[in-house]
């Protein structure tokens, strides 16, 4: 991370080497994911990003604001999937929600990774967990509707099925990397294949 040359000449830009708000958010979240949010002080974060604390505070008023912005990015994405699939019939909505969730995870990998590591250590984290729970409950409702319709088997409890499906989806943060061997399309197709049809041939 190098200081911009004009930094010295143009005081207004001093201390903001190459980051806009969105780039800074991604870089900060990457540091949180690597070292832990609680374990990372603002000083340590600024040092890791090659910034002064003042430059960091130019974009975000606090570490908490960075956390809240990232968690909202992930949750807005997931909740958006539910909104966009609202008019899809139950038989197809579960597939559409799973596919949408994989795409949100692939497109917002650092933010979703952070969301999945949140443990409820602060008011911001507890609110995020509350939104995650509400999302899970809505998906469980979609599974239940498809079971009623007869398109999803009902010998697995709807909330257990939802947990297993999202266990599979969420585990992608452990190994999926953009630009790797599997792209988001292939990933979504594989998840849908295992989740809906299973691996056993017939």
Q: Contact residues for a copy of itself (CB under 8 A)?
A: 36, 39, 94, 143, 150-153, 155-157, 160-161, 163-172, 174-175, 182, 190-191, 193-201
Alpha-carbon distance of 97 to 87, in angstroms, equals 12
Q: Which is nearer to a copy of itself, 24 or 75 (CB)?
A: 75
Minimum distance of a copy of itself from residue 143's CB (angstroms): 8
- Inter-residue contact 195 to 139 (CB < 8 Å): no
Judging by beta carbons within 10 Å of its beta carbon (0-12, 13-18, 19+), is residue 180 exposed, middle or buried? exposed
Q: Looking at beta carbons only, is 2 or 201 nearer to a copy of itself?
A: 201
Closest CA to 184 of 110, 88, 108: 108
Give 22 or 91: the residue with its C-beta nearer to a copy of itself.
Answer: 91
CB of 121 to a copy of itself, least distance (A): 11
Q: How far is the CB of 156 from a copy of itself (least distance, A)?
A: 5
Nearer to a copy of itself, 167 or 179 (CB): 167
Of the pair 76, 182, the CB lying nearest a copy of itself is at 182
User: Nearest distance from residue 194's CB to a copy of itself, in Å?
Assistant: 5
What's the CA gap between 66 and 200, in Å, rounded?
44
Q: Are 93 and 147 in contact (CB under 8 A)?
A: no
CA distance 181 to 188: 14
Cα–Cα distance, 76 to 132 (Å, whole number) = 10
Q: Answer whether 115's CB lies under 8 Å from 173's CB.
A: no
| Closer residue to a copy of itself (CB): 23 or 36 | 36
* Minimal distance, residue 135 CB to a copy of itself, in Å: 15
In this structure, are residues 195 and 143 in contact, taking their beta carbons and an 8 Å threshold?
no
Q: Least separation, in Å, of the C-beta of 56 and a copy of itself?
A: 24
């Amino acid at each position: 991370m190098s200081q911009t040359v004009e930094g010295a000449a143009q005081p207004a830009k001093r201390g903001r080497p190459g980051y806009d708000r969105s780039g800074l958010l991604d870089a900060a979240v990457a540091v949180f994911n690597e070292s832990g949010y609680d374990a990372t002080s603002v000083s340590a974060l600024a040092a890791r990003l090659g910034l002064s604390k003042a430059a960091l505070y130019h974009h975000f008023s606090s570490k908490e604001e960075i956390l809240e912005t990232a968690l909202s990015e992930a949750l807005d994405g997931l909740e958006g999937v539910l909104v966009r699939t609202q008019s899809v019939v139950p038989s197809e909505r579960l597939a559409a929600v799973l596919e949408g969730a994989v795409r949100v995870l692939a497109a917002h990998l650092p933010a979703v990774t952070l969301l999945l590591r949140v443990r409820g250590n602060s008011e911001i984290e507890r609110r995020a967990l509350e939104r995650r729970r509400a999302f899970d409950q809505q998906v469980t409702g979609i599974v239940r509707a498809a079971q009623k319709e007869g398109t999803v088997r009902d010998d697995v409890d709807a909330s257990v099925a939802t947990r297993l499906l999202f266990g599979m989806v969420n585990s992608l943060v452990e190994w999926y990397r953009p630009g790797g061997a599997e792209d988001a399309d292939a990933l979504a197709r594989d998840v849908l294949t295992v989740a809906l049809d299973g691996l056993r041939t017939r």
